[in-house]
Amino acid sequence: MVHILVVEDDKNTRRFMKAVLEEEQYIVFTASNGVEALDILDTTHIDLIVLDIMMPKMDGYELTEILRSVQNELPILMVSAKQLPADRKKGFQVGTDDFMTKPVDAEEMVLRIKALLRRAKITSERKIMIGNVVLDEDSLSVTREGETQVLPQKEFQLLFKLLSYPGKIFTRIQLMDEIWGTESDSGWETVTVHVGRLRRRFEGWPEFQIESVRGLGYKAVKLV
């Protein structure tokens, strides 16, 4: 069972979130501020945090900074009435994984939580499974029905990134920065070359494909 911690100082909002998440069969713990949240985290296994920003004693920004400073990589969905781009930017700078504004749409919150949990599972296991295909980050290998291909590091990282977020469009610049680094002397054309190599390697595989999105970049599509 998945354990979720809701940290929210408004009693009615806290109850609403708890009810919505329990309806989805999650086990829900609640705290009214960051100090209470830390006490719960000290004694309870938590898989994900839904976190308000504006709270007494310790706000959401400070709690996130504390968790990230000790290499706690729990997925955090930050929820706030603050809607300015600067507020969202600060949230991501301190280490949140996702951000949504109030009033909270229950269905959207659940969808975002499911996406964060899926990504956290991929990160912790360092593997992706798509039908008969297994991508193993530790060995840089892609295996299907007994056939194993070991990829060059950049090719593997590119494929792993795209398949970690199926359907999400990544620009060439995004992929370049994340995989080759912002200090790389290579141009974005390098991404195009590597995508071409991946397409040739896995041409005809029925489990996934890499699609070009005209004027934007690339996305991976799961077919099973």
Residue 180 has pLDDT above 80, yes or no: yes
Quote the pLDDT of residue 209.
96
Domains of the chain: 3-120 (3.40.50.2300), 127-222 (1.10.10.10)
Q: Which residues contact 109 (CB under 8 A, 6 or more apart)?
A: 17, 20, 50, 77, 79, 100
CB 9 within 8 A of CB 56: yes
Which candidate, 17, 55, 61, places its Cα nearest to that of 36?
55
Instruction: Please tell me whether the overall predicted TM-score, pTM, comes out greater than 0.85 for this model.
Output: no
Three-class HEC string of the chain: CCEEEEECCCHHHHHHHHHHHHHCCCEEEEECCHHHHHHHHHHCCCCEEEEECCCCCCCHHHHHHHHHHCCCCCCEEEEECCCCHHHHHHHHHHCCCEEEECCCCHHHHHHHHHHHHHHHHHHHHCEEEECCEEEECCCCEEEECCEEEECCHHHHHHHHHHHHCCCCCEEHHHHHHHHHCCCCCCCCHHHHHHHHHHHHHCCCCCCEEEEEECCCEEEEEECC
State pLDDT tens for residues 132-172: 999 998 899 999 998 999 999 999 999 999 998 888 899 99
Quote the pLDDT of residue 124.
65
State pLDDT tens for residues 189-198: 899 999 999 9
State pLDDT tens for residues 54-107: 888 888 999 999 998 887 888 999 998 877 888 888 889 999 999 998 888 999
